[in-house]
Amino acid sequence: MFVDSHCHLNFPELRDQLAQIRAAMAESRVDRALCICTTLEEFDAVHALAMAYGNFWCSAGVHPDNEGVREPLVADLVRMATLPRVVAIGETGLDYFRLAGRSHEAMEWQRERFRTHIRAARACRKPLVIHTRAAAADTLRIMREERAGEAGGVMHCFTESWEVAQAAIDMGFYISFSGIVSFKNAHELRAVAKQVPLGRMLIETDSPYLAPVPFRGKTNQPAYVRHVAEALAQIRAVPVEQIAQATTQNFFELFRPS
Protein backbone atom coordinates (compact mmCIF):
# COMPACT_ATOMS: atom_id res chain seq x y z
CA MET A 1 0.00 0.00 0.00
CA PHE A 2 1.03 3.61 -0.66
CA VAL A 3 0.38 6.84 1.26
CA ASP A 4 0.14 10.30 -0.29
CA SER A 5 1.67 12.46 2.43
CA HIS A 6 0.77 15.80 0.81
CA CYS A 7 -2.19 16.73 -1.40
CA HIS A 8 -4.70 19.56 -1.84
CA LEU A 9 -8.04 17.86 -2.48
CA ASN A 10 -10.01 21.00 -1.64
CA PHE A 11 -8.49 22.91 -4.56
CA PRO A 12 -10.85 23.67 -7.46
CA GLU A 13 -9.17 21.19 -9.81
CA LEU A 14 -10.05 18.27 -7.51
CA ARG A 15 -12.78 19.09 -5.02
CA ASP A 16 -15.68 18.12 -7.30
CA GLN A 17 -14.14 14.78 -8.26
CA LEU A 18 -13.73 13.09 -4.89
CA ALA A 19 -15.64 9.95 -5.86
CA GLN A 20 -13.43 9.37 -8.90
CA ILE A 21 -10.29 10.32 -6.98
CA ARG A 22 -11.04 7.85 -4.22
CA ALA A 23 -11.87 5.09 -6.72
CA ALA A 24 -8.55 5.71 -8.48
CA MET A 25 -6.73 5.61 -5.14
CA ALA A 26 -8.24 2.22 -4.33
CA GLU A 27 -7.31 0.85 -7.73
CA SER A 28 -3.72 2.03 -7.32
CA ARG A 29 -3.47 0.74 -3.73
CA VAL A 30 -3.10 4.24 -2.32
CA ASP A 31 -4.98 3.78 0.91
CA ARG A 32 -4.28 7.02 2.83
CA ALA A 33 -3.77 10.72 2.16
CA LEU A 34 -2.86 13.84 4.13
CA CYS A 35 -4.85 16.90 3.01
CA ILE A 36 -2.79 20.05 3.45
CA CYS A 37 -4.12 23.43 4.54
CA THR A 38 -2.69 26.59 2.94
CA THR A 39 -4.84 29.36 4.53
CA LEU A 40 -6.84 29.71 7.71
CA GLU A 41 -9.82 30.62 5.53
CA GLU A 42 -9.78 27.17 3.90
CA PHE A 43 -9.14 25.18 7.06
CA ASP A 44 -12.78 24.25 7.63
CA ALA A 45 -13.03 22.77 4.12
CA VAL A 46 -9.79 20.82 4.53
CA HIS A 47 -10.79 19.58 7.96
CA ALA A 48 -14.18 18.51 6.62
CA LEU A 49 -12.43 16.18 4.17
CA ALA A 50 -10.51 14.56 7.00
CA MET A 51 -13.66 14.17 9.06
CA ALA A 52 -15.69 12.75 6.17
CA TYR A 53 -13.31 9.97 5.16
CA GLY A 54 -11.59 7.49 7.43
CA ASN A 55 -8.40 7.38 5.36
CA PHE A 56 -7.88 11.16 5.12
CA TRP A 57 -6.16 13.41 7.67
CA CYS A 58 -5.31 17.11 7.52
CA SER A 59 -2.99 19.89 8.65
CA ALA A 60 -3.46 23.48 9.83
CA GLY A 61 -1.35 26.30 8.42
CA VAL A 62 -0.74 29.17 6.02
CA HIS A 63 1.47 28.70 2.96
CA PRO A 64 4.36 31.17 2.69
CA ASP A 65 3.25 32.34 -0.77
CA ASN A 66 -0.22 33.41 0.38
CA GLU A 67 -0.60 37.14 0.87
CA GLY A 68 -3.72 39.10 1.74
CA VAL A 69 -5.01 36.27 3.94
CA ARG A 70 -5.62 36.00 7.66
CA GLU A 71 -2.30 35.93 9.47
CA PRO A 72 -2.00 33.01 11.91
CA LEU A 73 -1.35 33.36 15.60
CA VAL A 74 0.21 30.58 17.64
CA ALA A 75 -3.10 30.26 19.49
CA ASP A 76 -5.02 29.82 16.22
CA LEU A 77 -2.81 26.97 15.06
CA VAL A 78 -2.73 25.26 18.44
CA ARG A 79 -6.53 25.39 18.67
CA MET A 80 -6.91 23.86 15.20
CA ALA A 81 -4.33 21.21 16.02
CA THR A 82 -6.47 19.97 18.92
CA LEU A 83 -9.33 19.05 16.59
CA PRO A 84 -9.80 15.41 15.54
CA ARG A 85 -7.78 14.17 12.56
CA VAL A 86 -5.46 17.22 12.47
CA VAL A 87 -2.01 15.67 12.51
CA ALA A 88 0.39 18.43 11.42
CA ILE A 89 1.16 22.16 11.36
CA GLY A 90 1.70 23.69 7.93
CA GLU A 91 2.21 24.00 5.09
CA THR A 92 4.70 26.59 6.26
CA GLY A 93 8.22 27.73 5.42
CA LEU A 94 9.86 30.24 3.10
CA ASP A 95 9.59 30.91 -0.62
CA TYR A 96 11.79 33.53 -2.26
CA PHE A 97 11.14 32.29 -5.80
CA ARG A 98 8.44 34.87 -6.56
CA LEU A 99 9.79 38.05 -5.00
CA ALA A 100 7.98 40.35 -7.49
CA GLY A 101 10.88 42.76 -7.37
CA ARG A 102 11.24 42.67 -3.58
CA SER A 103 14.48 41.96 -1.72
CA HIS A 104 15.03 39.06 0.65
CA GLU A 105 15.04 41.59 3.47
CA ALA A 106 11.50 42.63 2.50
CA MET A 107 10.24 39.09 3.17
CA GLU A 108 10.46 39.41 6.94
CA TRP A 109 6.70 38.83 7.12
CA GLN A 110 7.29 35.36 5.70
CA ARG A 111 10.00 34.64 8.22
CA GLU A 112 7.80 35.77 11.11
CA ARG A 113 4.94 33.61 9.83
CA PHE A 114 7.31 30.64 9.68
CA ARG A 115 8.44 31.26 13.27
CA THR A 116 4.80 31.34 14.37
CA HIS A 117 4.19 27.91 12.87
CA ILE A 118 7.27 26.41 14.49
CA ARG A 119 6.28 27.80 17.88
CA ALA A 120 2.78 26.39 17.47
CA ALA A 121 4.15 22.98 16.46
CA ARG A 122 6.36 22.87 19.53
CA ALA A 123 3.45 23.94 21.73
CA CYS A 124 1.02 21.31 20.45
CA ARG A 125 3.61 18.61 19.74
CA LYS A 126 2.55 18.15 16.13
CA PRO A 127 5.05 17.80 13.25
CA LEU A 128 5.73 20.57 10.74
CA VAL A 129 5.13 20.39 6.99
CA ILE A 130 7.83 22.67 5.58
CA HIS A 131 7.99 24.25 2.13
CA THR A 132 11.25 25.86 1.04
CA ARG A 133 12.03 27.29 -2.38
CA ALA A 134 15.02 29.48 -3.20
CA ALA A 135 15.35 30.05 0.56
CA ALA A 136 17.18 27.04 1.97
CA ALA A 137 19.74 28.95 4.05
CA ASP A 138 17.13 31.08 5.83
CA THR A 139 14.81 28.09 6.21
CA LEU A 140 17.46 26.04 8.00
CA ARG A 141 18.61 29.01 10.08
CA ILE A 142 15.10 29.69 11.39
CA MET A 143 14.51 25.99 12.01
CA ARG A 144 17.61 25.96 14.22
CA GLU A 145 16.82 29.27 15.95
CA GLU A 146 13.25 28.20 16.75
CA ARG A 147 14.24 24.64 17.72
CA ALA A 148 12.04 23.05 15.05
CA GLY A 149 13.67 19.71 15.78
CA GLU A 150 11.64 19.56 19.01
CA ALA A 151 8.52 19.20 16.85
CA GLY A 152 10.02 17.34 13.91
CA GLY A 153 8.34 17.15 10.56
CA VAL A 154 8.94 16.83 6.86
CA MET A 155 10.62 18.87 4.13
CA HIS A 156 7.88 18.48 1.56
CA CYS A 157 8.32 18.35 -2.23
CA PHE A 158 12.07 18.35 -1.71
CA THR A 159 14.18 19.87 -4.51
CA GLU A 160 17.26 21.06 -2.64
CA SER A 161 20.80 19.69 -2.36
CA TRP A 162 22.03 16.73 -0.34
CA GLU A 163 23.62 19.19 2.12
CA VAL A 164 20.21 20.73 2.82
CA ALA A 165 18.63 17.29 3.16
CA GLN A 166 21.35 16.19 5.56
CA ALA A 167 20.91 19.31 7.69
CA ALA A 168 17.17 18.68 7.93
CA ILE A 169 17.65 14.99 8.71
CA ASP A 170 20.12 15.95 11.44
CA MET A 171 17.29 17.98 13.01
CA GLY A 172 15.04 14.91 12.93
CA PHE A 173 13.11 15.75 9.76
CA TYR A 174 11.91 13.49 6.97
CA ILE A 175 12.46 14.20 3.27
CA SER A 176 9.45 13.89 0.95
CA PHE A 177 9.74 13.35 -2.79
CA SER A 178 7.10 14.34 -5.32
CA GLY A 179 6.63 13.63 -9.01
CA ILE A 180 9.59 15.89 -9.77
CA VAL A 181 11.90 12.98 -8.94
CA SER A 182 10.53 11.17 -12.01
CA PHE A 183 11.33 14.02 -14.41
CA LYS A 184 14.14 13.27 -16.88
CA ASN A 185 15.96 16.53 -16.13
CA ALA A 186 15.95 16.04 -12.34
CA HIS A 187 19.48 14.60 -12.23
CA GLU A 188 20.60 16.33 -9.03
CA LEU A 189 17.40 15.46 -7.19
CA ARG A 190 17.68 11.81 -8.15
CA ALA A 191 21.22 11.82 -6.75
CA VAL A 192 19.80 13.12 -3.45
CA ALA A 193 17.09 10.44 -3.52
CA LYS A 194 19.81 7.78 -3.64
CA GLN A 195 21.33 9.10 -0.42
CA VAL A 196 18.34 9.80 1.80
CA PRO A 197 17.92 6.87 4.22
CA LEU A 198 14.77 4.87 3.61
CA GLY A 199 13.88 5.45 7.24
CA ARG A 200 13.70 9.19 6.56
CA MET A 201 11.76 9.18 3.29
CA LEU A 202 8.17 10.03 2.40
CA ILE A 203 6.32 10.22 -0.93
CA GLU A 204 3.68 12.70 -2.04
CA THR A 205 1.84 14.09 -5.04
CA ASP A 206 1.34 17.77 -4.05
CA SER A 207 -1.72 17.31 -6.24
CA PRO A 208 -3.20 18.91 -8.25
CA TYR A 209 0.34 19.95 -9.21
CA LEU A 210 3.52 18.18 -10.37
CA ALA A 211 2.08 15.00 -11.83
CA PRO A 212 4.80 12.33 -12.21
CA VAL A 213 5.82 10.65 -15.41
CA PRO A 214 3.84 9.28 -17.31
CA PHE A 215 1.24 11.94 -16.43
CA ARG A 216 3.52 14.98 -16.45
CA GLY A 217 1.63 18.11 -17.45
CA LYS A 218 -1.75 16.72 -16.42
CA THR A 219 -3.75 17.32 -13.26
CA ASN A 220 -2.19 15.32 -10.46
CA GLN A 221 -4.10 13.17 -7.96
CA PRO A 222 -3.24 10.90 -5.01
CA ALA A 223 -3.46 7.71 -7.09
CA TYR A 224 -0.35 8.84 -8.94
CA VAL A 225 1.83 8.67 -5.82
CA ARG A 226 2.61 5.05 -6.69
CA HIS A 227 4.51 6.39 -9.73
CA VAL A 228 6.67 8.47 -7.39
CA ALA A 229 7.40 5.28 -5.46
CA GLU A 230 8.21 3.44 -8.69
CA ALA A 231 10.64 6.20 -9.72
CA LEU A 232 12.38 5.99 -6.35
CA ALA A 233 12.55 2.20 -6.58
CA GLN A 234 14.22 2.49 -9.97
CA ILE A 235 16.66 5.13 -8.70
CA ARG A 236 17.63 3.03 -5.70
CA ALA A 237 17.46 -0.35 -7.51
CA VAL A 238 15.09 -1.87 -4.97
CA PRO A 239 11.60 -3.40 -5.28
CA VAL A 240 8.79 -0.84 -5.23
CA GLU A 241 7.28 -2.79 -2.33
CA GLN A 242 10.28 -1.77 -0.23
CA ILE A 243 9.61 1.91 -0.94
CA ALA A 244 5.91 1.43 -0.20
CA GLN A 245 6.55 -0.31 3.10
CA ALA A 246 9.18 2.15 4.30
CA THR A 247 7.28 5.32 3.37
CA THR A 248 4.04 4.02 4.86
CA GLN A 249 5.78 3.14 8.12
CA ASN A 250 7.48 6.54 8.15
CA PHE A 251 4.12 8.27 7.64
CA PHE A 252 2.70 6.54 10.70
CA GLU A 253 5.77 7.22 12.81
CA LEU A 254 5.81 10.93 11.94
CA PHE A 255 2.12 11.88 11.91
CA ARG A 256 0.71 9.23 14.27
CA PRO A 257 -2.71 9.23 12.58
CA SER A 258 -5.60 7.65 14.43
pLDDT of residue 30: 98
Produce one character per residue of 9-22: b if its CB has 16 or more CB atoms within 10 Å, e if not. Answer: bbbeebeeeeeebb
Burial bucket for residue 189 (CB in 10 Å: 0-12, 13-18, 19+): buried
Q: Where are the alpha helices (DSSP H) in the chain?
A: 18-27, 43-52, 74-81, 108-124, 136-145, 162-170, 187-195, 225-236, 240-255
Beta bridge partners of 131: 93
Q: What angle do CA 249, 141, 112 make, to 5 degrees?
A: 95
pLDDT of residue 158: 98
Beta bridge partners of 30: 2
- Candidates 128, 140, 230; CA nearest to 177 is 230
- Candidates 154, 211, 248; CA nearest to 14 is 211
pLDDT of residue 137: 98
Are 247 and 32 in contact by the 8 Å Cβ rule? The answer is no
Amino acid at 206: D
Angle, helices 240-255/225-236, rounded to nearest 10 degrees: 120
Q: What is the rounded distance in angstroms from the CA atom of residue 64 to the CA atom of residue 160?
A: 17
Angle, helices 108-124/74-81, rounded to nearest 10 degrees: 40
Query: Is the alpha carbon torsion for 91, 95, 100, 105 positive or negative?
Result: positive
pLDDT of residue 101: 84
Q: What is the rounded distance in angstroms from the CA atom of residue 151 to the CA atom of residue 189?
A: 26
- Candidates 63, 84, 82; CA nearest to 10 is 63
Q: What is the pTM of this model?
A: 0.97
Q: What is the pLDDT along the chain (258 residues), one digit of tens a residue?
A: 999 999 999 999 999 999 999 999 999 999 999 999 999 999 999 999 999 999 999 999 999 999 999 999 999 999 999 999 999 999 999 999 988 888 989 899 999 999 999 999 999 999 999 999 999 999 999 999 999 999 999 999 999 999 999 999 999 999 999 999 999 999 999 999 999 999 999 999 999 999 999 999 999 999 999 999 999 999 999 999 999 999 999 999 999 998
Q: What is the rounded distance in angstroms from the CA atom of residue 94 to the CA atom of residue 257?
A: 26
